[in-house]
Amino acid sequence: MDASLIPALHDALVVAQTGSVGEAARRLHKTASAVSQQIRRIEARFGVALFEKVGRGIRPSLAGESVLGSLTRLFDEAASLETLLTEVATARVTTLRVAASDYLGEALLLPVLRRLFAEGAPLRFEITTTNSIEAARLCAAGQVDVAMVSTDRAATADETTLAAQPFYWVAPKTTNRRREPIRNRLSREPLLRLGAGSQGRRVLDEYLGRIRLRPLSTIDVPSVSLLLSYVRQGLGVGLVPGLAIRRGDRRHLAIERADVPEIDVRLVCRPTLKRTKPVARFLDGLTREARSVPLPGLNRAGA
């Protein structure tokens, strides 16, 4: 993109927000003709009319409406950059970009962030919520600094194993006093599955192939948190990683250790990451948190 167009795009955004060239000019400390000239410049460059007249004012045209969201986000990001530059100029603030699945973020990242901010750690975080495979890819591409991933592949020099994670079947609690194994319910209740490409989905598909079971009906959900929400509300059986099981879930869920292999939870760091003292405190905090999270003390017979 031609960077010289950015001031003109900003003028167009203010005009769209105010509905008036004159009011936009007042806010921008420019003349109305200068603002109009900037808008004409964009329209001539792309061959599209961004505004149309309505009475004494103007409003975005259909084309203008279609780009208004992207235009707003562009300058929202610019405002965030200005804030970041101000923070960097006034203090030694390190920005850490972290990628993790929703349940790993809730189980490990959230408690560590609370402690760090309570202690006044000079850190700023950008969090990307995604599945483990994508988190590892983002880290390898240098798009994030740290990734928390579930994996069964061999560890590399840039990875730290946080925990060996078992899997559990979860299902709505029933009033039946007979403690039927949850796995026996798979053939008659909806099966909740994570999206294709996730580690949890791979483990589930391998298990179903091993026992040669084709579920009667399936519901695909994008996250472990949503899967657990469905089960809590009485719908479906699912397979979830151990760190997603919270202490309070026993009141709402039937939980049973699944007969599937454990999978490692690893901390992956960008090779060029500078391990300053605040960064090291963050990484050490994740390691300690992973080792302290209680998992349900259930055997494979059910609960």
**Helices (H), ranges, the chain:** 6-18, 21-28, 32-46, 62-90, 102-104, 110-118, 132-140, 199-211, 224-232, 277-292
pTM for the structure as a whole: 0.64
- List Cβ neighbours of 269 (8 Å cut-off, separation of 6 or more): 139, 145, 146, 158, 159, 160, 283
The pLDDT, as a whole number, for residue 190 is 94
As a whole number of angstroms, the distance between CA 208 and CA 218 comes to 13
When pLDDT is cut at 50, 70 and 90, the band that residue 245 belongs to is: confident
Q: What is the pLDDT of residue 90?
A: 60
Dist. CA 138–CA 194, nearest whole Å? 20
Per-residue pLDDT for 91 more than 60? no
Residue with tokens 């970009």: 97
pLDDT of residue 73: 85
Phi-psi map region of 19: left, alpha, beta (phi>0 left; psi -120 to 50 alpha): left
Residue 1 has pLDDT above 90, yes or no: no
Encoding tokens for residue 45? 């460059």
Q: Kindly report the average pLDDT of the chain as a whole number.
A: 86
Sheet holding 94-100, edge to edge: 123-129, 94-100, 146-151, 263-269, 159-165
CB 170 within 8 A of CB 240: yes
Residues 211-232, mean pLDDT to the nearest whole number: 91
Domains in the chain, ordered, with CATH?
3-77 (1.10.10.10), 90-163+264-292 (3.40.190.10), 165-261 (3.40.190.10)
- Could you give the percent of the chain with pLDDT greater than 90? 42
| pLDDT class of 250 with cuts at 50, 70, 90 | low
Candidate from 3-12, 70-79, 282-291 with smallest mean pLDDT: 70-79
- The DSSP-derived string for 245-273 is --GGGGGTEEEEE-SS--EEEEEEE-TT-
CA 52 vs CA 15, 21, 25, 174: distances in Å: 12, 12, 18, 61
Instruction: Give the amino acid at 243.
Output: L
Q: pLDDT digits over 255-303, tens only? A: 999 999 999 999 999 888 888 888 999 999 999 998 887 665 444 334 4
* Residue of 35 and 173 predicted with greater confidence: 35
